[in-house]
Structure 1
Amino acid sequence: MNWHGSSDAPPLARIAALAPSLQPGERRVTEAIMADREATVERTAQELADAVGVGRTTVIRAAQSLGYEGYPQLRVALAQELALESTGTDDADAADGTLLGSVRAGVGRFAARLGNTTAALTEDDVQQFMRLLDESQRVLVLANGLSGALGIDLVLRLNSAGRPAEILMDAMSQQISARQLGPESLCVVISGSGANRATLEGISAAKKGGAKVVAITSFARSAAADAADVALVVPPINESFQDELIHTSRAAIMLLIELLVEQFVAYRGERGREAQAVALSMLGGGILE
């Protein structure tokens, strides 16, 4: 699996999205890079290979898997990424030993990587998602675990945008409903790890029924992304698959969902604006003075 996202995407975003799918040797190379990016900028391919304990060709393949012509281009990209980060929030100043300081430091880290949120997306994938969302007769959202709240949020936003959608929180009910989807239906899957068992079983059921599947996930070569017709990959804010499982941040995916629905309203033109006006009218009527 090679990088197919934006050519402007920084190394951090590429590694986060692709690391689980790399060959073991290539993964060791990327882990060494992330452990000390500054040192990597100063190393030759052979020096990095010696430090990791792999062959020079493995280092070159790792760079190419990340979407670079070769290792020199990866070094340049790392240098640019570090230079941009040096102008961002200083975590040392934010983390002053207080709880609030730690929160501010976390917000600063998130803000520094916020640009990576869309780095792996392509115009074609987003266009396909909009078309499927608009044309499908039924839309079923699958989301389990800590992604469950994002699934509910997506359904509420879609309904407010005039696109009826449904979600079920019981795993067996999900499979039954997914299996009954037909060729004119869409199953939207939200899974940060892309490896949730219940979600994968739901995907399998949806595909058996002939439905199209769109996966919103953090990793380009996760099981969910592989099974989907369209994968919208949002590189995790955390630096590794392990960190994603432990810290399970869904903030980047939440942001993407909000923006996708906003664009969907625009995509539908007058229909979208009318639906939005109805939703706003209902909301206005429910507010007490």
Structure 2
Amino acid sequence: MADPLTAANPVAAVRAVLPSLTPAARAIARIILDDPGLVVRSTITEFSVVSGTSEATIVRTARVLGFSGYSQLRFALAAAVAKEQAMVPDRLVPGDLAPDDPLTDVIAKVARSESEALADTAAQLDPARLGEVVTAIAAARRVDVYGVAASGLVAADMSQKLLRIGLSSHPFADAHLALTSAALLKEGDVAVAISCSGETPDVLVPARTAAEAGAVVVCITNNPRSSLAGLAHHTMVSTGHETAFRPGALASRISQLLIVDCIFVGLAQRAFDTAGAAIRATREATDRYRHRP
């Protein structure tokens, strides 16, 4: 049996594990991502010819992706394709961004990519795991958030959101400062590590240090088989549609922000009265500053 989340959104599941696949399996996964309908229409023998891989490799790849075999993968993709066609019967602007695209097509393609990333990430978010993350952060004395480059922007966004509801949180984009803070965390504290690849040393090493110090480590990553996911207590999988003009880290930022917002709302719900009071107090303070004489 396939994992329920994998079966519900097989394309998103393939995209999530793509970085960790072998070259042969990656070639198969690329075809699934580019043209899932082709897989649905093809027998395993036909797909073997198209992908340039053996039938045994196709079966192994299907199992790595969470399915018992190629037939189950085809059935899941067929259901996903039918659902997408029912929701969006005509894709007026298909394909990747091109250098000569008019700006009207650029707007449509970027908007479609963003909406697909959000939908794929939401489909993979496990409510039970989200609840565990909310519980851990709500009880934490301190919350560190590690991230660099595009993920650093998400880390800063998360930290300021937590601060707005009265939680002690600090973002770290510098590895030395992150390590300094991580080494001082205690049992019950939380470290949130954000990395698209899950292999960024500036994020991975502080996260490992935080875990050794006894903190609960939460990771937000595109790669559930990464080193970061391997050491984290809770892994939240984001998805991003990488293109020529939007490399992985940039493409995944919108889905990382979705996860951050879900955590924030869960925390605000958990402590509704105190969170509401904190938001009002911080809003009044900034309003007074903006309207000072």
TM-score range, shorter chain: 0.7 to 0.9
Query: How much is the aligned-residue C-alpha RMSD, in angstroms?
Result: 2.9
The whole-number CA distance in structure 2 between the counterparts of 1:148 and 1:139 is 15
- TM superposition score normalised by structure 1: 0.86
Structure 1 equivalent of residue 261 of structure 2? 258
Of 224-233 and 115-124, deviating more is 115-124
The whole-number CA distance in structure 1 between the counterparts of 2:179 and 2:4 is 31
Of 19-28 and 223-232, deviating more is 19-28
The whole-number CA distance in structure 1 between the counterparts of 2:6 and 2:14 is 14
In 1, are the aligned partners of 2:147 and 2:154 still within 8 Å (CA)? yes
Q: Specify the SS of the correspondent of 2:199.
A: coil
In 2, are the aligned partners of 1:188 and 1:214 still within 8 Å (CA)? yes
The whole-number CA distance in structure 2 between the counterparts of 1:236 and 1:3 is 22
In 1, are the aligned partners of 2:24 and 2:57 still within 8 Å (CA)? yes
Q: Specify the SS of the correspondent of 2:145.
A: strand
The whole-number CA distance in structure 1 between the counterparts of 2:72 and 2:2 is 14
In 1, are the aligned partners of 2:118 and 2:254 still within 8 Å (CA)? no
In 2, are the aligned partners of 1:5 and 1:119 still within 8 Å (CA)? no
Q: How does 1:1-289 map to 2 (within 5 A)?
A: 6-7=5-6, 9-86=8-85, 87-88=87-88, 89-92=91-94, 97-238=101-242, 243-244=247-248, 247-288=250-291
In 2, are the aligned partners of 1:12 and 1:239 still within 8 Å (CA)? no
The whole-number CA distance in structure 2 between the counterparts of 1:231 and 1:267 is 21
Post-superposition offset of 1:208: 2.3
In 2, are the aligned partners of 1:4 and 1:120 still within 8 Å (CA)? no
Q: Specify the SS of the correspondent of 2:218.
A: strand
Identity of aligned residues (%): 25
The whole-number CA distance in structure 1 between the counterparts of 2:25 and 2:102 is 39
The whole-number CA distance in structure 2 between the counterparts of 1:152 and 1:285 is 24
The whole-number CA distance in structure 2 between the counterparts of 1:5 and 1:148 is 32
Code of the aligned partner of 1:279: T
Q: Specify the SS of the correspondent of 2:60.
A: helix
The whole-number CA distance in structure 2 between the counterparts of 1:179 and 1:286 is 36
Q: Specify the SS of the correspondent of 2:203.
A: helix
In 2, are the aligned partners of 1:187 and 1:213 still within 8 Å (CA)? yes
Code of the aligned partner of 1:194: G
The whole-number CA distance in structure 1 between the counterparts of 2:21 and 2:212 is 29
The whole-number CA distance in structure 2 between the counterparts of 1:177 and 1:205 is 9
Q: Specify the SS of the correspondent of 2:8.
A: coil
Point out where structure 2 has 5 or more consecutive residues left out of the alignment: none
In 1, are the aligned partners of 2:7 and 2:76 still within 8 Å (CA)? no
In 2, are the aligned partners of 1:141 and 1:187 still within 8 Å (CA)? yes
Query: What is the CA deviation profile of residues 60-109 of structure 1, one whole-angstrom value per residue up to 9, with x for unaligned ones?
Result: 2322332334322322322333334444352159x894224312321123
Q: Specify the SS of the correspondent of 1:167.
A: strand
Code of the aligned partner of 2:59: I
Post-superposition offset of 1:236: 1.9
Post-superposition offset of 1:198: 0.9
Code of the aligned partner of 2:277: E
The whole-number CA distance in structure 2 between the counterparts of 1:130 and 1:61 is 36
The whole-number CA distance in structure 1 between the counterparts of 2:115 and 2:7 is 18
Code of the aligned partner of 1:29: I
Cα distance change on mapping 1:182 and 1:3 into 2, 3 Å? farther
Code of the aligned partner of 1:265: A
Code of the aligned partner of 1:62: T
In 1, are the aligned partners of 2:19 and 2:197 still within 8 Å (CA)? no
Q: Specify the SS of the correspondent of 1:194.
A: coil
